Copies of this chain bind each other. A is one copy, B any other.
Amino acid sequence: MTSDAATPVLAHVDMHLDESLERLKGLLRIPSISTDPAYKAECDKAADWLVDELADLGFDAAKHPTPGHPMVVAQDDEGEGMHLLFYGHYDVQPVDPLELWARDPFDPQVEETPRGRVIRGRGAADDKGQLMTFVEACRAWKAVHGNLPLKVSMFFEGEEESGSPSLVPYMKEHAEDLKADLALICDTGMFDRETPAITTALRGLAKIELVITGPDKDLHSGMYGGAARNPAHVLSKILADLHDENGACTLEGFYDGVPELSDAQKAQWDNLGFDAEAFLNGVGLSVPAGEKGRSVLEMIWSRPTCEVNGMTSGYTGAGFKTVLPSKATAKISFRLVGTQDPKAVLKALEAHIKARMPADCRYVINEPEGSSATTMPVENPAFEAARQALSDEWPKPAAFIGCGGSIPIAGHFQTILGMDSMLIGFGNDDDQIHSPNEKYDLTAFHKGIRSWVRVLDALSKA
């Protein structure tokens, strides 16, 4: 069902898709890797690019400095009724290992693949391609009707891939400028290629980097081996002990605040026909690794996890060096659900580390950070209106789903601005976000823009 207002806008989107794509490429060419200080100027450049883009669209747009990478905030007050705040992030993940990319990650191109045309490049799906679906929907609407059908603000950050250190302070300081009736966040995926989704359960995230020091320098393993404490052994023990033989996390109190799925929720998810085998096969695996007795969908949507994201110690170059390492380092993160307290989890982790630390080893915990899980209020009528709008665009009706990733911004909108968030995104499982050869389907981009046109229309009447 398409309204009179939306129909010509959808046609305009179809007509001008190539131009939309060229604009997306322009943004993808900027290597805005937020976690690496070497790319600071590039993050700034991406923010400027967005300010220019939004100003060109008639938004009152500006770049706002922070101690880290800048925020981009833009308003368009000409519409009537509900006020939306759209959020996205212009920063991207690092690209290493670069040798696994089939092309320069910052020279985006459209490629033909067995599953259709894609735009390939770092940030194509996470999150530049996604945020541009909304920007392009606004551009089309304005091109056809002059004014948007409701008040729209946009809010883009450049630190999402590096823990968003400036986000909360900025939101607290500028709460009045940012507050709206509803937040829209485009950083999530479809349920499958034909089924759009509104993500209503988001896991939280807690993380640390652990550095253990044993000897004060790398030693010769023949001279010191056996007698001198090897921090790689200490680290291995700490990491191995994080899970029991049933795949459960062993940290004291880890499962406090982890809710069981309601029967209704379980039934809805069972009905989605999720193919766990295909999900694992798609990445070269076949055996679910997590908690015994839980389905794969539960593991990735509603169960907390504990993962080692990286570790290093000693000599890791070509050949062999019989060194006894001085240091061993691991990056460890947790996905949190329900009311799990990130601070309590990190405290339990530190107790676990401490209990396994030999008297003459030292440890440092770097960059501890945590955010709680968030659950969205699906009883807000805007959710059902948006679900209908998405169902009109795609082959199958839209679903309310959980999400494995952490999108702390939704929690911040709730706690700092008292505002509900609606998470709608068009990513697919094979987009390889955070991996080499990231891509975004052209269908996702095209129908994503069209989806937002429909959602804007639907919300303007909700």
Question: Are B331's CB and A314's CB within 8 A?
Answer: yes
Note all chain B residues with C-beta closer than 8 A to A226. 289-291, 299-300, 303, 305, 307, 335, 404
Given A223-B300, A323-B310, A405-B223; A287-B229 close (CB under 8 Å): yes
- Give the number of chain A interface residues (Cβ < 8 Å): 99
Cross-interface CB contact of A243 among B233, B300, B319, cutoff 8 Å: B233
Question: Are B308's CB and A230's CB within 8 A?
Answer: yes
Question: Are B100's CB and A289's CB within 8 A?
Answer: no
Complex Cα gap A161–B287 (Å): 41
A403, closest chain B residue (CB): B222
A260 at interface by CB-CB < 8 Å: no
Question: Are B305's CB and A309's CB within 8 A?
Answer: no
Note all chain B residues with C-beta closer than 8 A to A276. 227
Per-residue B-contact encoding for A206-226, CB less than 8 Å = 1, 0 else: 010100011111111111111
Per-residue B-contact encoding for A372-407, CB less than 8 Å = 1, 0 else: 000000000000000000000000000000011110
Per-residue B-contact encoding for A273-303, CB less than 8 Å = 1, 0 else: 0001001100111111111000010011001
Q: Which of A107-147 contact B (CB under 8 A)?
A: none
Oligomer: number of copies: 2
Given A314-B310, A317-B94, A324-B307; A287-B358 close (CB under 8 Å): yes
Between A221, A286, A299, A321, the greatest number of chain B beta carbons within 10 A of the residue's beta carbon is seen for A221
Q: Which of A427-462 contact B (CB under 8 A)?
A: 429, 432-436
A433, closest chain B residue (CB): B220
Question: Are A311's CB and B316's CB within 8 A?
Answer: yes
Binds B, one of A22-30, A77-85, A234-242: A234-242
A371 at interface by CB-CB < 8 Å: no
Question: Are B309's CB and A320's CB within 8 A?
Answer: yes
Note all chain B residues with C-beta closer than 8 A to A322. 205, 207, 307, 309, 333, 406, 434
Q: A residues near B, CB below 8 A?
A: 34-37, 93-94, 96, 100, 161-163, 203, 205, 207, 209, 213-230, 232-233, 235-237, 239-243, 276, 279-280, 283-291, 296, 299-300, 303, 305, 307-325, 328-331, 333, 335, 358-360, 367, 403-406, 429, 432-436
25 interchain pairs, CB-CB under 8 A? A36-B319, A100-B217, A163-B320, A207-B320, A215-B283, A220-B405, A221-B333, A225-B307, A226-B289, A226-B290, A229-B287, A232-B308, A236-B240, A239-B240, A287-B358, A308-B313, A309-B323, A309-B325, A311-B311, A312-B312, A315-B331, A316-B329, A320-B367, A321-B331, A323-B435
Known: A233-B239, A239-B240, A240-B241. 9 other contacts (CB 8 A): A93-B321, A162-B319, A226-B300, A232-B311, A286-B359, A287-B358, A314-B331, A315-B331, A316-B331
